[in-house]
């Protein structure tokens, strides 16, 4: 019998603790070992028994979740999933949580938390499972029916021919997909890109209202421009466009101009935005003018789309297992034979530049 993932829930709301406990215990791979109303109680419980994963609220009495996260990751690193009510202003705090070592962010509303947690059962359980698999480094100071797992067909039909992708152009485009651990991987990747880098379009699994703060922070530390994508934004050299949370991002083309479409619709591969949707659109509209990059992440989102890119003539790169926080998405793409090169994160920027200048 497989060992269950033991979870400690830290949240000052009794309703949130009870609902999260029910949601997590409904998954046969997960067991809630304890709950705590604040970090001091949590610390006592950890001293008695170390959990496999912690779910952590941010706004709590006596000690906030970010301070507790810093202490945990500096003294006894363990996987942490932030589960908090995030406003636009609070998104910067959540971004800081990822920098301090949190594996994932679950954004819960300030009103209707119980219903949200119940409806988000699959996502919450997947986040905990991903966290349990994560490789960590010490940082200095009620049962619901699972919705069908949709493919990219739900958003964009697969091209019947490659005429749209075969159009001649002097510019190439880079399509990137990432999930768990992707915030820091993308930060490292984009900081290494030169001012004249090819246009980049990115799907990172993130909550709504969070991608804007993430994009803004990257824009301040990267040589290239980084922004949260808006509908009809042109894909330009020296600029990266990041899919807004809770919306699909598609690459489109008009003549030699690449642009993006922001689209609502069902979750694809259990995600919105979905890497599969982005990669399918890249296969359809860019073809051999595209370079695909799949980074650290739980699950298989992006693998099938990357195979479509390869079939359309794109050059594809996967992040290697050693440099991934979770070697899920790249592994699935490699297993499908959708990848041309498997590289450590530090080597991906140079490889992208070589391929787009070739």
Give 8-59 as a DSSP string.
EEE-S-HHHHHHHHHHHHTSTTEEEEEEESSHHHHHHHHHH---SEEEE-SS
356 and 198 Cβ atoms separated by less than 8 Å: yes
Catalytic annotation present for 76: no
Residue the block writes with tokens 């021919």: 161
State the maximum Cα–Cα separation within the chain, in Å, rounded to a whole number.
64
Q: Which of 27, 52, 301, 320 is catalytic?
A: 301
Cα 355 to Cα 345: distance, rounded to the nearest angstrom: 16
Q: Which of 205, 247, 248, 271 is catalytic?
A: 205
Tokens read off for 136? 């960590």
Give 193-235 as a DSSP string.
S-TTPPEEEEEE---TTTHHHHHHHHHHH-SSEEEE--TT-B-
Q: Which of 84, 179, 274, 281 is catalytic?
A: 179
Cα 356 to Cα 57: distance, rounded to the nearest angstrom: 43
Catalytic annotation present for 205: yes
Residue the block writes with tokens 């949240």: 11
Catalytic annotation present for 269: no
Cα 82 to Cα 59: distance, rounded to the nearest angstrom: 11
Tokens read off for 78? 């363990």
Going along the chain, which residue ranges are E strands? 5-10, 30-36, 53-56, 80-84, 104-107, 173-178, 199-204, 225-228, 239-242, 248-254, 257-263, 290-294, 315-319, 341-343
Catalytic residue numbers read 179, 205, 301
């Amino acid at each position: 019998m497989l060992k269950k993932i033991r979870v400690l829930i830290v949240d000052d709301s009794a309703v949130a603790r009870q609902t999260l406990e029910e949601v997590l215990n409904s998954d046969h791979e997960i067991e809630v070992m304890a709950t705590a109303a604040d970090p001091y109680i949590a610390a006592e419980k950890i001293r008695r028994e170390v959990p496999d994963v912690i779910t952590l609220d941010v706004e709590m009495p006596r000690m906030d979740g970010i301070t507790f996260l810093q202490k945990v990751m500096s003294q006894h690193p363990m996987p942490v999933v932030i589960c908090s009510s995030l406003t636009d202003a609070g998104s910067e705090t959540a971004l800081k949580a990822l920098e301090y070592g949190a594996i994932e962010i679950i954004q819960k509303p300030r009103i209707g938390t119980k219903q949200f947690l119940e409806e988000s059962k699959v996502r919450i359980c997947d986040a905990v499972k991903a966290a349990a698999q994560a490789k960590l480094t010490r940082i200095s100071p009620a049962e619901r029916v699972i919705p069908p797992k949709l493919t990219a067909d739900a958003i964009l039909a697969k091209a019947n021919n490659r005429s749209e992708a075969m159009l001649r152009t002097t510019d190439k485009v880079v399509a990137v997909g990432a999930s768990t651990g992707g915030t820091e991987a993308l930060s490292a990747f984009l900081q290494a890109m030169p001012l004249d880098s090819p246009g980049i379009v990115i799907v990172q699994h993130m909550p709504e209202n969070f991608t804007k703060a993430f994009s803004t922070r990257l824009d301040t530390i990267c040589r290239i421009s980084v922004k949260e994508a808006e509908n009809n934004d042109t894909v330009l050299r020296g600029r990266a466009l990041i899919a807004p949370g809770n919306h699909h991002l598609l690459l489109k083309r008009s003549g030699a101009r690449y642009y993006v479409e922001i689209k609502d619709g069902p979750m694809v591969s259990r995600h919105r935005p979905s890497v599969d949707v982005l990669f399918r659109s890249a296969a359809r509209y860019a073809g051999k003018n595209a370079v695909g990059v799949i980074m650290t992440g739980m699950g298989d989102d992006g693998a099938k789309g990357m195979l479509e890119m390869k079939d359309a003539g794109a050059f594809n790169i996967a992040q290697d297992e050693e440099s991934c926080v979770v070697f899920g998405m790249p592994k699935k793409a490699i297993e499908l034979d959708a990848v041309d090169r498997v590289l450590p994160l530090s080597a991906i920027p140079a490889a992208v530049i070589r391929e787009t200048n070739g």
